[in-house]
Amino acid sequence: MPFELALVNAVNGVILGSIYATIAMGMSLIFGVMGIKNLAHGDFAMLGMFTSFWLWSLFNVDPLISIPVTFALFFILGMAITKLIFKHIVGEMMGSIILTFGLSIFIENVAQALWGGDYRWIPVSYGVYKLGPLSMDGKYLVAFSLTIALIVLTQLFLAKTKVGIAIRAVTQDPEAAESLGINVDRIRLVGGGLGIALAGCGGAILALIFYIYPYVGILLTLYALIITVLGGLGNVLGAFFGGLIIGIAQSVATIQVPSALAPAVGFAIFVLALLFRPQGLFGKR
C-alpha cells in the first residue's frame, strides 16, 4: 500500500527530524549567543550516544533514566568547552569553523581510540503499539515523546525564565544586552552549556533508534548545519521546523529514490531554500 508506506515514512521522518532538530537547536543556540559555527556539534551528540550506550551496557541503566544524567554531564562539559575554547573565537566565522573542526577531529578520534570503530546499538524494547493501520515500535514513540518534552522545556526556558530571556537578548544584540546590565560572559557560558547539553541529549535519544559509532558525528553535524540555517541562524524555534522538514523530506524521498540517496534530497532542499530565502525559512531579514 503506497499510501500507508508514505504514512509510515512520514511518521518516521517526523520522529527522526525532531531528534535532529534537538541537536540543531543546540547548534543554533551556540551560534546565537557566540556567533560560532560549531563543526564539532555532531561529535558531542556522538558522545551523548556513547554515554547512553555505556550507562546501559556497564551499569544496566535504562536509556530513559540516563538521559537526565547525560543532560547534566553535557551541560558541565559545554560550560568547560565554552570557557576553554569557544570564548576565544566569539564572532569569528572562519576561525570558529577551523578551530571546531580541529576539536571535531580530536573528539571523534578519542572515541575511536577508546572504543574502536564498531557499530553498536542498545537492544532495549518498549513493546510494539498499534495506531490505526500503523504499527509503531515503542522505541520510536519513547524517543519522540522525550524529544518533544526536551524541545518544549527548552522553549519554556528561553521564553519564561530570566536567564532564557537574557540568552535571547544576547542573541539579538550583545552590546545592547551588556549596556542593560546583562553579564554577557555568564550568559554565553550558560548558552554554551545548554547548546552542548541539547546535542548530548539529542544523541542520547538518537541512540535508541540509530547505530552508535565514532564517525557518526560528522553526519549529525551536517544535518544540524543545514537545519540550523534552514530555520534561520540563531533562531531556536526555526531549527525545530527545519528539522521536521528535513526529516520528513528525507524519509518520504526513500519511496522514490534509493534510500542511500535520500539525504541528497534534504541537502538539495537546503540549497534551494538558501537561494530563495537566504535569511532562512523562518528568519526575518
Partner 1 sequence: MNKPRGKKIDVVSAVTVALIIAAVLAPMPIAGQTYLIQVLVLILIFATLAQAWNLLAGYAGQPSLGHAALFGSGAYTLALLTFYVDFFRYNPWPAIFIGGFIASMVGLAVGALCFRLRGPYFALATLAITEVIRLIVANTDFTQGALGVTVPTPPKVETPLFTIDFAEKLPYYYIALAIMLVSAYVVYAVSKSRYGLMLQSIRDDEDATASLGVNTFRLKMMAMFISAFMAGAAGALYAVFISYIDPSLDPGGVLTLFTSIDPILMTIIGGVGTIIGPIIGAAIKVGLGEYLRVTFGWKAGLDLVVFGAIFMVIFFVARRGIWGVVKTVTREGWGPVKADLLKLLGR
Q: Please give the residue ranges that form the binding site for partner 1 (CB under 8 A).
A: 37, 85, 87-88, 93-95, 97-99, 101-113, 116-117, 214-215, 218-219, 222, 225-226, 229, 233, 258, 260-261, 263-264, 267-268, 270-271, 274-275, 278
CB of 250 to partner 1, least distance (A): 11
Give the nearer residue to partner 1 in terms of CB position, either 180 or 186: 186
C-alpha cell read off for 128: 510494539
C-alpha cell read off for 90: 566569539
Instruction: Determine the Cα–Cα distance for residues 205 and 73; give it in Å rounded to an integer.
Output: 15
C-alpha cell read off for 244: 521536521
CB of 239 to partner 1, least distance (A): 14
Instruction: Determine the Cα–Cα distance for residues 171 and 189; give it in Å rounded to an integer.
Output: 13
- The alpha-carbon radius of gyration of the chain (Å, integer) is 18
**Measuring CA to CA, which residue among 7, 33, 67 is closest to residue 206?**
67
**Measuring CA to CA, which residue among 85, 283, 91, 113 is closest to residue 196?**
85
Give the nearer residue to partner 1 in terms of CB position, either 141 or 274: 274
Give the nearer residue to partner 1 in terms of CB position, either 122 or 225: 225
CB of 281 to partner 1, least distance (A): 13
Give the nearer residue to partner 1 in terms of CB position, either 7 or 273: 273
CB of 259 to partner 1, least distance (A): 10
Give the nearer residue to partner 1 in terms of CB position, either 126 or 215: 215
Backbone angles phi, psi at 151, to 5 degrees: -65, -45
CB of 159 to partner 1, least distance (A): 26
Q: CB within 8 A of 173, min separation 6: which ones?
A: none
